[in-house]
A and B are shown apart, each in its own frame.
Chain A
Amino acid sequence: MKRNRLVNVLFLTPSVFAFVMIIIIPFFFGLYYSMTDWNGVSDNVAFVGFRNFRDLFSAPDFLYSFLITIAYTVINIVLVNVVSFLLSLIVTSKIKRRNFYRAGFFVPYLIGGIVLGYIWQFILNSIVVDFGASMSIDVLRVSFLSLPDTVIWAMSAVNTWQYAGYIMLIYVASIQSIPASLMEAASVDGASYPARVFHILIPMMANAFTISLFLTLTSSFKQFDMNLTLTNGGPATRFFEAPVKASQLLAMNIFNTATANRMAEAQAKAVVLFVALVVVSLVQVTVNKKKEVEM
């Protein structure tokens, strides 16, 4: 018995030790630093209370980043899930080579955000613009990445390209777990295809929607890699009379603040990101779970 307890401890130690050292301790340090004047250079760190947080909510660049991150997340949730749901219907239909398509649509997810950011910067700044010029389509002549009004949409489109194939897999697994006889019976009863999708498929897939919405929500909220290499925050725009970067999402705002050695301020922003993420995802999961029961 004593030996068994020793084995228990030995088996748990590596994971728990790494977890405590890498996540738990830095987490509490992080909460503490957000209430200090930490600048990353000096070793002396003084406690300043909630001053950093108070300052945040009067800083236009932070408020702007917060708002566009919410906008970006909402656009992504709709775009990614609509596209991936449609893709999942396609690859579970009776068309030829459906497994080939399923594998193909997933490929963008394998390419990291850093690499695909560069690729899409080239596509949007060169390919689309050149195409617009050669076809004399004026809308395309100016890159979507260079206008404050379109840059978020361009980023969402790229994000959809990256994530749709992954979310599609979740929907496919859900569709395949629904007994085929259910759809067939409805078909025999004369239900049209859209009616079958809306009245049978979607209600039966409620659980998959909860997961997919959660994944798109949290990944969009924390978006950094693709933001860095696609736009690096640009172009410049104005918000409440102050100059801000039009596509600087929250994670990049935190990164840039820390790069400027305003570590405590960056840490306070990160804590706000954390709290917002927890609140929003809790609301989303609760609402979705309630819907699951109703359906």
Chain B
Amino acid sequence: MTARKSLTRLRVNPGLVLLEVLTILLFIVFMFPFGMVILNSAKTSREIIFNAIALPSHWGQLLTNISLIFSNPTVDYVGAFIDSTVITVLSLVVIVLFSSMAAWVLVRSNKAWSTILFMVFVAAMVIPFQVLMYPLVRWMRVVGDFMHLRLLGTYHGIVFAYLGFGSPLSIFVFHGFIKNIPFELEEAATIDGCSKQCIFFKIVFPLLKPIIVTVLILNGIWIWNDYLLPLLVLGSNGAVQTIPIAVTAFAGAYLKQWDLILTSTLIAIIPVIILYLFAQRYIIKGMVEGSIK
């Protein structure tokens, strides 16, 4: 029996081998653009014009290009990286905290008003950003003037905007998860003398861990790469800048200088790839759960 089993394992399945070769080819096609970015980030402008496919003559040029990017006078990449990080992290914190609180109240209230409010949140997801963007900027300016609190061009302004735009999907995802948490847990805690806010923070919130990962990833990828909202709220050359704005500002200033533009995209990509290498399992799981719900 064991002998026969090992024999079948030895027998090569030609279909599977063919599939494997095909997959490797497909994988190379998928990774090809990244390869080209790395290759040409290590060239001078003249080298690229002469031959974009050839290997670079000096890999050391990569470091030269990177230092050129960081020392260029038009765009502050380090600043943009810090701003992007601050905006993404703060937005994620408020979205996760406030959306989960709201979703919990909406699930447990179980009244007509809570159902209607939930439906309004869900329905708002179909509104494309294009309908909102220009009135939003005008509205933020009016509200800012009225309250003597600048909303445009500031951290708190854009984080507040992300809370508004992120709430519907996040509440929807939390809502679906909280529905399946047995209510008996919360009842038992009430009998033990736990107040309502204590129930949420001590009992419910810790149970949300897996779905918080999903909400973080769905919103994180979106906010980090978002272009139009930061462009409109922060401006293309304001004090606060995100990575996508920095990349477009740079490409606009160094028109067709592919050595520098490609190096700048490489600098924008690397942190994301590093994060992905570490959190790959969570990111994939989070994406799947977020889209199926």
Contact = CB atoms under 8 A, between A and B. Distances in A.
A96 B20 contact: yes
B82 to A, nearest CB: 18
B1 interface: no
Interface in A33-87: 33, 40, 87
B146 interface: no
A11 B200 contact: yes
Interface string A9-52: 00110111011011111110111010000001000000000000
Interface in A256-275: 258, 263, 266-267, 269-271, 273-274
Interface stretch (A108-116, A136-144, A146-154): A108-116
B131 A270 contact: yes
Interface in B211-227: 221, 224-227
A271 B131 contact: yes
A263 B134 contact: yes
Interface in B238-274: 244, 247-248, 251, 258, 261-262, 265, 268-269, 272-273
Nearest to A172: B288
Contact of B258 (A7, A111, A126): A126
B124 A95 contact: no
Interface stretch (A178-186, A194-202, A221-229): A221-229
A123 B33 contact: yes
Given A101-B27, A131-B53, A170 B126 contact: no
A1 to B, nearest CB: 10
A157 B54 CA distance: 24
A114 B229 CA distance: 13
Contact of A119 (B20, B23, B265, B280): B265
Interface residues of A, number: 87
A65 B279 CA distance: 40
B53 A130 contact: yes
A103 B248 contact: no
B183 interface: no
Contacts of B32: 123
- Residue among B22, B99, B124, B167 having the largest count of chain A Cβ atoms under 10 Å: B167
B248 A11 contact: no
Contact of A21 (B40, B129, B164, B251): B164
Interface of A: 3-4, 7-8, 11-12, 14-16, 18-19, 21-27, 29-31, 33, 40, 87, 90, 93-96, 101-116, 118-120, 122-123, 126-127, 130-131, 134, 161, 165-166, 169-170, 172-173, 208, 211, 215, 221-222, 224-225, 228-229, 250-251, 254-255, 258, 263, 266-267, 269-271, 273-274, 277-278, 281
Given A12-B117, A96-B20, 19 more contacts: A14-B101, A15-B102, A19-B168, A21-B139, A21-B164, A22-B136, A22-B164, A23-B165, A27-B124, A27-B131, A108-B30, A109-B221, A110-B272, A115-B269, A118-B262, A130-B53, A211-B292, A221-B128, A222-B130
